[in-house]
Amino acid sequence: TSLLAQEYRKGIPCIVVANKIDLDMKVTKKSFNFAAKRNLPFYFVSASEGTNVVKVFNEAISLGHQYQKNPDSDDFLAEIMDLLHEDDEEASAP
């Protein structure tokens, strides 16, 4: 199966997060194939304890910034956004 986000925006960064590890730390010993099969970053977190929460947000910000600087060449939505941005610049020019 594919990720819905990546179906419509090829190459968009995605991260897989398993939350609530504070309830049962044994879950961190398990293997989860979903992320591995799709070559996605995978993190175990505990929002209540703060375990890896900042790390996940930093990774998401970093991946999003990289994607913004270098979008996939087939990203139709990025092309539309660029055109809209150009129109905004032309409209605000004196």
DSSP β-bridge partners for residue 44: 18
Residue 1 is predicted with a pLDDT of: 45
pLDDT at 61 over 90: yes
Residue 3 is predicted with a pLDDT of: 65
Q: Please state, for a pLDDT cut of 70, what percent of the chain lies above it.
A: 82
pLDDT grade for 30, boundaries at 50, 70 and 90: confident
What one-character-per-residue DSSP string does 61-85 give? Answer: HHHHHHHHHS--TT-HHHHHHHHHH
Q: Where are the beta strands (DSSP E) in the chain?
A: 16-18, 42-44
